[in-house]
């Protein structure tokens, strides 16, 4: 069947969706959600091949008429040879072989490397729908993947995108997440780079947390770059802190993450390949993995964290990455600031003045940076943290951070007081005297996100007093910033109903 392209002037969550009029769909014998193959019949390009798309149907003819095929703006951006009035050939497509392999995993059977390659290749080409991939994610969540499957998946996902080369020895740090205020990468990267190591730090924007490394760094400098711009930055400063989503790395992994998010699934069988895929894409050879352990994290006990660490190290070795894992405390936020601007401000304050602390940020940052320094041979075993603290204390890390900010297009002379915070503020004071025995991470995350994080850079919270502190009645303990007066009121309500700071006493909670 030959149809004329009609541009639909909005975007869809699935870049492979197309719209057919009900009459054309019936003539093709296709239903909504089924596949068709499409080809530009007038293009003479060697690369002009049939590509797969997923049908959506217009029953009323209000979007596309009979004889037209509706293509969304995001699809037309990818298919540069297509535009309004272009004539394309459309024919039904049977489910690809990879669909059978997904069914195999649903039944709990092991997949071969070739079968995994087929699934990933078809995911990127659009031959598999989002429903198919959701089934694959659910199957892995229920049945898991063994070491060979995870190794094959990491390598297969890496091959779907660009792979950078920054030298023989490239380092990185990653965290499995779960702790608010975990802005340690803003300290680790300049320490490690100041020591002469190459560390191209790529991260995602926050998904479930109030801020990710990319969100906080964006307060200080741009984080979205083309591959050519990235190569220039790293060649100049042997480091960067960027948003990986702007690069053409591991599109298959990005696609799976997009589907995992609304499913609220992050199975280990996909998590480990996902981490390693991004590191392989940036040429990383040595990696320290921060594994926060405790309530609210992916690993509630040290034993579960250790089991994951051993598994991760084995898969990493299979793909050529030397990894060391550090199980870290997750009982309260790192530092006192939660939210993009607040975290950038706290990190910049520490880089400029070691004595400004906070101690939890100093200890965790230098511990993890020290592991990388030991892995590189820059420091003797057991002496890495001491070396990292010396670099931080001396101001060398701050000077390197200024150079990274400049290379990424920011103002290297930015000061903590220059960073803008939300104009709507609410302070909270203790209603009684006592010792703080708990700072609840999940409630703090909830308050910060309700205030506007991470989409609003200026929103967030400050935890003035933390676990172990003795406080008096009426003492200042907590502060919320927001860009919106209504969001501030909602965040305030959550604080009043579920105080995240608990003082010592016999009552755990009131029901």
Reported as a single tens digit per residue, the pLDDT across 192-208 is 999 999 999 998 788 77
Considering Cα of 467, then 336, then 208, then 155, what sign does the dihedral take?
A: negative
- Say how far apart CA 426 and CA 392 lie, in whole Å: 33
What is the reported pLDDT for 509? 62
Nearest alpha carbon to residue 492 among 481, 483, 502? 481
What is the reported pLDDT for 77? 84
- pLDDT of residue 249 exceeding 80: yes
- pLDDT of residue 506 exceeding 60: no
pLDDT band at 65 (very low <50, low <70, confident <90, very high): very high
What is the reported pLDDT for 47? 64
487 and 451 Cβ atoms separated by less than 8 Å: yes
251 and 237 Cβ atoms separated by less than 8 Å: no
- pLDDT of residue 101 exceeding 70: yes
| Number of residues in the chain | 511
The arrangement of secondary structure in 2-92, i.e. its CATH architecture, is Beta Barrel (2.40)
What is the reported pLDDT for 295? 83
What are the residue boundaries of the structural domains of the chain, listed by start?
A: 2-92, 97-144, 171-247+266-407, 424-503
- Say how far apart CA 269 and CA 137 lie, in whole Å: 9
CATH of 171-247+266-407, one of 1.10.3230.20, 3.30.70.2170, 3.40.1030.10, 3.40.50.1450: 3.40.1030.10
pLDDT band at 137 (very low <50, low <70, confident <90, very high): very high
Q: Which tens digits make up the pLDDT trace of 422-471?
A: 999 999 999 999 999 999 999 999 999 999 999 999 999 999 999 999 99
Q: Which tens digits make up the pLDDT trace of 138-166?
A: 999 999 999 999 999 999 999 999 999 99
> Could you tell me which residue, 335 or 42, shows the higher pLDDT?
335
Q: What percent of the chain has pLDDT over 70?
A: 97
What is the reported pLDDT for 45? 67
Q: Which tens digits make up the pLDDT trace of 366-399?
A: 999 999 999 999 999 999 999 999 999 999 999 9
Q: What number is the average pLDDT over the span 46-56?
A: 80
Nearest alpha carbon to residue 30 among 69, 77, 87? 69
Buried b (16+ CB within 10 A) or exposed e, 150-179: bbbbbbbbbbbbeebebeeebbbbbbbbbb
Of 17, 266, 290, 367, which residue is the catalytic one?
Answer: 266
Nearest alpha carbon to residue 410 among 219, 200, 183, 215? 219
CATH number 2.40.50.420 given to 424-503: no
Q: What percent of the chain has pLDDT over 90?
A: 81
- pLDDT of residue 309 exceeding 70: yes
- pLDDT of residue 300 exceeding 70: yes
pLDDT band at 41 (very low <50, low <70, confident <90, very high): confident
- CATH number of the domain located at residue range(s) 97-144 in this protein: 1.20.970.10
What is the reported pLDDT for 59? 94
pTM of the model: 0.88
Q: Is 81 a catalytic residue?
A: no
């Amino acid at each position: 069947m030959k149809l004329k392209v009609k541009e639909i002037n909005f975007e869809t969550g699935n870049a492979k969706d197309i719209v057919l009029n009900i009459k054309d769909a019936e003539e093709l014998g296709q239903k909504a959600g089924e596949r068709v193959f499409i080809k530009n019949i007038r293009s003479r390009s060697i690369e002009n091949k049939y590509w797969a798309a997923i049908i959506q149907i217009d029953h009323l003819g209000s979007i596309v008429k009979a004889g037209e095929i509706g293509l969304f703006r995001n699809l037309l951006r990818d298919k540069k040879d297509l535009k309004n009035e272009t004539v394309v050939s459309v024919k039904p497509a049977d489910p690809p072989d990879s669909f059978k392999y997904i069914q195999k995993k649903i039944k709990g059977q092991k997949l071969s490397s070739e079968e995994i390659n087929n699934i990933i290749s078809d995911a990127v080409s659009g031959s598999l729908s989002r429903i198919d991939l959701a089934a694959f994610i659910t199957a892995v969540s229920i049945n898991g993947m063994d070491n060979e499957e995870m190794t094959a998946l990491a390598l297969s996902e890496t091959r779907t995108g660009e792979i950078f080369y920054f030298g023989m020895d490239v380092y990185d740090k990653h965290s499995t997440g779960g702790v608010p205020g975990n802005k340690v990468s803003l300290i680790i990267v300049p320490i490690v780079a100041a020591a002469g190591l190459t560390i191209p730090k790529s991260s995602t924007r926050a998904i479930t947390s109030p801020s990710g490394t990319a969100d906080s760094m964006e307060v200080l400098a741009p984080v979205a770059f083309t591959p050519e711009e990235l190569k220039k930055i790293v060649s100049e400063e042997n480091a960067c802190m960027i948003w990986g989503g702007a690069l053409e790395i591991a599109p298959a992994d990005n696609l799976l993450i997009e589907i995992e998010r609304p499913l609220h699934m992050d199975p280990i069988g996909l998590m480990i390949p996902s981490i390693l895929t991004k590191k392989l894409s940036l040429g990383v050879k040595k990696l320290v993995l921060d594994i926060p352990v405790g309530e609210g994290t992916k690993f509630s006990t040290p034993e579960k964290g250790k089991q994951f660490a051993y598994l991760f190290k084995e898969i990493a070795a299979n793909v050529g990455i030397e990894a060391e894992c550090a199980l870290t405390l997750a009982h309260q936020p790192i530092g006192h600031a939660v939210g993009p601007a607040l975290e950038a401000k706290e990190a910049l304050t520490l880089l400029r003045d070691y004595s400004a602390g906070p101690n939890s940020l100093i200890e965790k940052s230098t511990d993890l940076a020290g592991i990388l320094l030991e892995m590189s041979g820059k420091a003797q075993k057991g002496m890495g943290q001491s070396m990292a603290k010396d670099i931080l204390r001396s101001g060398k890390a701050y000077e390197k951070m200024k150079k990274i900010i400049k290379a990424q297009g920011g103002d290297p002379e930015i000061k903590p007081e220059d960073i803008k915070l939300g104009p709507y503020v609410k302070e909270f004071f203790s209603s009684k005297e006592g010792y703080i025995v708990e700072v609840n991470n999940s409630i703090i995350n909830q308050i910060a996100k309700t205030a506007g994080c991470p989409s609003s850079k200026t929103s967030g919270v400050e935890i003035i007093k933390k676990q172990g502190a003795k406080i008096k009645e009426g003492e200042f303990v907590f502060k919320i910033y927001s860009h919106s007066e209504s969001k501030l009121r909602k965040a305030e309500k959550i604080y009043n109903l579920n105080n995240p700071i608990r003082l010592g006493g016999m009552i755990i909670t009131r029901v």
